Amino acid sequence: MSGVAVDASTAAEDDATIDIKHGKTLIHIEISKNSTILQLKRKIERETGIEPMNQKMPNLKLGKHLAPDEASIESLGKLPSKVMLLGKSTKDVTELKNLEKEMLEKAPEILDDFESDVLDSEPLLCYSDPVYVARLAARIEKYKGLSPLNETREGMKLLVLDIDYTLFDHRTPGETAQELARPYLHEFLSSAYKRYDIVIWSATSMLWIKTKMQELGVLSHPNYKILALVDSGSMITVQTKERGIFNCKPLGWIWAQPWSKERGYDSSNTVMFDDLRRNFAMNPSSGLKIKPFRNAHTNRATDNELKKLKVYVDIIARENVDFKTLDHKKWERYVLKVLKEGRLSEEEANEVKGFWPNSTVVRELAEQQSSQAGDQRQ
């Protein structure tokens, strides 16, 4: 009898109950500590229908790395009180893709209403409306956001970047985030970092922002550092007659933060990229509407928007232009103007000529160069 008791005790010690949190659902999994992670995933599959290959458990780690399938549960040491489970079954993913395709086919074409000539008849004056000025002041007072990730740097300008459709195509399916990253993302950020402190601001949750930036390698890149992450909690709601009610990103919230105030960031030295003009409602002169990056797999080969903008943001920073004097809608014309005036390096000039080969400025410069070459031959 005593032998049976010892065996039962040993068996109890060898078993573990693991709490799996999937969305709002909590699942209790009974499993031997000698079992592998793959065996755990198969038990999870029986409970959720999510195949092992589609399961991600970001806080189940072996050391500093995600636990591999072949590792035993016992080898992980102390387990989290709740193991977070991310993922959908192949069936659910397929159904979701089919539903999205059906919705897109049925939906009318949607244009950016802030780019429309018709709606430009109503200027964005929210920034001067006392109601929204007071609303912004209240948001600054009540919402402090996440502490900066890194220190501000003396003499830098400030660059504020959106994520969705600006740096990343968040709607197109892909195996990895890198497949959906906008071309030249790291090249652009590395170049901008030489003259700008960089803030990422997305109209989403902080968890999503952190996750996506980590997946894209933005938070760990050796050539640049992100100053701060800002989420939807810093946005305010405004209303206009023609555009109705919408949320926007008031740069005043960033400018009011202690880490921003210490460097004197304001409209004279800040530029913000977003694919939606409505996000500039509280600071229209500081916003640059970037061409949206969609359909990553088909547009990756031709999209060079960040490569072009790399030249623009570098010029206006190094020449110490007062950003309030700029019309960011005409940023391409500005780059061509600087090219025409001979204020670019030879490498930059050749790059810009390649971006806009059919522009009047590039054609005129080519004709001048050809004429000068002819005179030298004579």
pLDDT number for residue 369: 82
In the numeric block, which tokens belong to residue 21? 């949190």
Instruction: Report DSSP state, residue 299.
Output: H
* Nearest residue to 161 via CA among 79, 36, 240, 251: 251
pLDDT number for residue 87: 85
* Nearest residue to 145 via CA among 272, 286, 249: 249
User: Which helix or strand (DSSP H or E) is residue 373 part of?
Assistant: helix 360-377
pLDDT number for residue 5: 47
Angle, in degrees to the nearest 10, between helices 185-192 and 305-318 = 0
Angstrom CA distances, 324 to 15, 110, 284, 293, stand at 66, 31, 10, 27
Asked whether the whole model's pTM tops 0.85, one would answer no
* Nearest residue to 192 via CA among 321, 335, 312: 312
Q: Across the 378 residues of the chain, what is the mean pLDDT of every consecutive 10-residue run?
A: 46 78 89 93 92 90 90 91 87 65 45 38 75 96 95 97 94 86 97 98 93 94 97 94 89 97 97 94 95 94 96 97 96 97 95 95 90 68
The residue ranges of DSSP E strands in the chain, in sequence order, are 15-22, 25-32, 61-62, 65-66, 83-84, 157-161, 196-201, 228-230, 236-240, 244-248, 270-274, 287-289
pLDDT number for residue 375: 61
The identity of residue 85, as a single letter, is L
Q: What single string gives the DSSP state of each residue in 93-125? A: HHHHHHHHHHHHHHSPP---TTT-TTGGGS---
Domains defined along the chain, listed by start: 13-90 (3.10.20.90), 129-303 (3.40.50.1000)
Q: How many whole angstroms separate alpha carbon 185 and alpha carbon 218?
A: 9
pLDDT number for residue 16: 86
